[in-house]
C-alpha cells in the first residue's frame, strides 16, 4: 500500500501533484510519502502486538534525517551498520536503548562510540570482535551488552548479493561455532551475552526461509539457557520484500502468522529490523526526459537521472516500474530508459513499455524509497538529487540538492 495515486491521469503523492513538486524543487528529485512509511511501520508494529517486540528500522535503507525523526517520534528504534549511521540515529532522536549495531567490519572507534552511547546491543560477528569489544568496554569502564550474529546457512531465495545467512556469506558466526563463542563471552569482562541475531537476507518473499532459521534459533536459545546464559532477545533481522513489479510480497500479518508459533513460547523479546518494507514503497525518483532517440532498432529515453542517482537496476538487475508523471496518450512501446552517466551500464530500465514521451516530459521511477538516495553517488561529478518529504498537502525539503561547490568543498 502506498499513497502515490493518479487524479485525472496525473501522478500525485498524497495530496500534491508530482509534476508540481518537480517544478518547484527541480529534477532529479526523490519524493517520499510520510503517510506510506508511517502506515507500514504501524502495520508491522500491530502485527506483532501479541509478543514483546522492538522494531529497529534499518538505517542503511534510507538514512534521511526527516525519515528517521518521523520514525523516532513513533517509538521506532534503529539497526545501524556504521559509526555514521549511529551518529544519524542519535541525532534523529532515537534513544540508544532502541539501537542495535550490526556489521562485519566495525572499527575500534565505531565500537567505542557504541559503548559510549550505551546502545541496546552490539551484534558481534566473530570471536575476535568479541574480544576487541570487551577490551574497549573495559578500558572505558563500561558494560556493553552483546548478541551473537549467527550464520544458519539458510538460502533465502533472493538475489545473490542480498543473501546474508548462507555459509559462503561473510556475515555471522557459523552455527557450529556459536557454543564456543558463547563460552568465550562468559569468560570476558564487560560484554554480557543477552541475545542472538539471525538476519538471513533481503527482499524475501516467503516466510519459509525464516522458519528454517528460526527452528535453528530455538535450538541455540534452549542450549544456551541450559548452560546458564540469560538470552533476553532474538533478533530475526529484516528482509521483508516489497512489490517492485509483479512480486507478491508478504503482508505484515502474513509474516507474523508464518513465524509466530516458532517464537511465541521462548519468553524473550523479538527484534525486527525492517528497512525496505517500511520505506521502499514510500519513495519515487522523478526525472525529466532530456532526449528521445532511435538507434540500432531501439528507442532510448534519456533522462536527467542515472545510475549515480539509483544504482539498483545496474547493480542488482532490479526492475522498478517506470511511469509518466502526467497523463500519457497513445499506445505503449518498448524503450530503454537510460541516464546521462558515461557508462553502458547506466540504465534505469530496459525494454520497458512506455507511451510516447518527448523532451521536457517527466517520468517517475516507482518504489525507490529504499537503497535509492542511500546508495547514490557523485560519479561523473554529478550533484546528488534533492529529497522532499510530503505529508498531505505539505512538502518539505529534507535534503537540498548538491551544488558544484559541494562537490569540491572537502578538497584542497
Is the alpha carbon torsion for 123, 98, 284, 20 positive or negative?
negative
Region 301-324: mean pLDDT is 96
State the pLDDT at residue 155.
52
Does residue 170 register a pLDDT over 60? Answer: no
Whether 167 has a pLDDT exceeding 60, the answer reads no
The C-alpha cell that represents 73 in the structure block? 517520534
**Are 364 and 285 contacting, i.e. CB atoms less than 8 angstroms apart?**
yes
Say which residue the cell 542519535 belongs to.
90
When mean pLDDT is compared across 28-42, 105-119, 319-333, the lowest value belongs to 319-333
Query: What pLDDT does 160 receive?
Result: 59
Query: Quick one: what percent of the chain has pLDDT higher than 70?
Result: 95
3-state helix, strand and coil shares in percent for the chain, rounded to the nearest 5 = 35, 25, 40
Which contacts (CB < 8 Å, 24+ apart) does range 225-228 have? 227/179, 227/182
For the segment(s) 34-278, the CATH number from 3.20.20.10, 3.30.920.30, 3.40.50.300, 1.10.472.50 is 3.20.20.10
251-265 pLDDT tens trace: 999 999 999 999 999
Return all residues near 4 (Cβ < 8 A) that are at least 6 apart: 11, 12, 13, 18, 33, 36, 284, 364, 366
Q: Which is it for the CA torsion 129, 131, 137, 142, positive or negative?
A: positive
CATH architecture of structural domain 4-32+280-408: Beta Barrel (2.40)
* Whether residue 56 lies in the annotated active site: no
Neighbours of 69 (CB within 10 A): 15
**Backbone phi, psi, residue 183, to 5°:** -60, -40
Mean pLDDT, range 115-125, rounded to an integer: 97
Q: What is the dihedral of CA 372, 375, 376, 378, to 10 degrees?
A: 180
The CA-CA-CA angle for residues 279, 284, 287, to 5°, reads 155
**Max CA pair span of the chain:** 71
> How many CB atoms are located within 10 Å of the residue 275 CB?
25
Per domain, the residue ranges of the chain are 4-32+280-408, 34-278
- pLDDT tens, 141-150? 999 999 999 8
Helix residue ranges, H only, 118-251: 127-139, 178-187, 208-226
The CA distances from residue 100 to 126, 149, 165, in Å, are: 16, 12, 18
User: Which H or E run includes 72?
Assistant: helix 65-73
The pLDDT, as a whole number, for residue 165 is 43
| Burial grade of 403 (CB within 10 A; 0-12, 13-18, 19 or more) | exposed
What is the per-residue pLDDT for 199? Answer: 79
Catalytic one of 56, 76, 146, 342: 342
- Residue 102 CA to residue 164 CA, distance in Å, equals 12
How confident is the model over 61-65, as a mean pLDDT? Answer: 98
Dihedrals φ, ψ of 12, to 5°? Answer: -120, 150
Rounded (10°) angle between helices 65-73 and 83-91? 60
Amino acid at each position: 500500500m502506498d499513497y502515490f495515486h493518479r487524479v485525472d491521469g496525473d501522478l500525485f503523492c498524497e495530496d500534491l501533484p508530482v509534476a508540481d513538486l518537480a517544478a518547484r524543487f527541480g529534477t532529479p528529485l526523490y519524493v517520499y510519502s510520510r503517510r506510506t512509511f508511517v502506515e507500514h511501520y504501524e502495520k508491522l508494529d500491530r502485527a506483532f502486538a501479541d509478543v514483546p517486540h522492538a522494531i529497529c528500522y534499518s538505517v542503511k535503507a534510507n538514512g534521511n534525517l526527516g525519515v528517521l525523526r518521523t520514525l523516532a517520534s513513533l517509538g521506532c528504534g534503529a539497526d545501524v551498520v556504521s559509526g555514521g549511521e549511529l551518529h544519524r540515529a542519535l541525532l534523529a532522536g532515537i534513544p540508544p536503548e532502541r539501537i542495535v549495531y550490526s556489521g562485519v567490519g566495525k572499527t575500534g572507534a565505531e565500537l567505542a562510540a557504541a559503548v559510549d552511547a550505551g546502545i541496546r546491543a552490539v551484534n558481534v560477528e566473530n570471536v575476535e570482535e568479541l574480544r576487541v569489544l570487551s577490551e574497549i568496554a573495559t578500558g572505558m569502564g563500561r558494560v556493553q551488552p552483546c548478541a551473537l550474529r549467527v550464520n544458519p546457512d539458510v538460502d533465502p531465495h533472493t538475489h545473490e548479493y542480498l543473501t546474508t545467512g548462507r555459509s559462503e556469506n561473510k556475515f555471522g558466526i557459523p552455527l557450529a561455532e556459536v557454543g564456543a563463542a558463547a563460552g568465550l563471552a562468559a569468560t570476558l569482562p564487560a560484554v554480557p551475552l543477552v541475545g542472538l541475531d539471525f538476519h538471513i537476507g533481503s527482499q524475501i518473499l516467503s516466510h519459509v526461509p525464516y522458519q528454517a532459521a528460526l527452528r535453528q534459533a530455538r535450538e541455540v536459545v534452549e542450549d544456551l539457557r541450559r548452560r546458564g546464559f540469560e538470552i533476553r532477545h532474538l533478533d530475526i533481522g529484516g528482509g521483508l520484500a516489497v512489490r517492485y513489479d509483479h512480486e507478491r510480497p508478504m503482508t505484515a500479518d502474513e509474516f507474523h502468522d508464518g513465524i509466530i508459533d516458532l517464537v511465541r513460547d521462548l519468553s524473550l523479546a523479538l527484534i525486527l529490523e525492517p528497512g525496505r518494507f517500511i520505506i521502499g514503497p514510500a519513495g519515487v525518483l522523478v526525472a525529466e526526459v532530456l532526449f528521445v532517440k532511435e538507434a540500432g532498432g531501439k528507442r532510448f529515453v534519456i533522462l536527467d537521472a542515472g545510475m549515480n542517482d539509483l544504482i539498483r537496476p545496474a547493480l542488482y538487475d532490479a526492475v522498478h516500474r517506470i511511469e509518466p508523471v502526467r497523463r500519457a496518450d497513445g499506445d505503449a512501446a518498448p524503450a530503454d530508459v537510460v541516464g546521462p552517466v558515461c557508462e553502458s551500464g547506466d540504465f534505469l530500465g530496459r525494454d520497458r513499455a512506455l507511451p510516447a514521451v518527448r523532451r521536457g516530459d517527466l517520468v517517475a521511477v516507482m518504489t525507490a524509497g529504499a537503497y535509492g538516495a542511500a546508495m547514490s553517488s557523485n560519479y561523473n561529478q554529478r550533484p546528488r538529487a534533492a529529497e522532499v518529504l510530503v505529508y498531505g498537502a505539505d512538502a518539505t525539503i529534507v535534503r537540498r540538492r548538491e551544488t558544484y561547490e559541494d562537490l569540491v568543498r572537502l578538497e584542497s
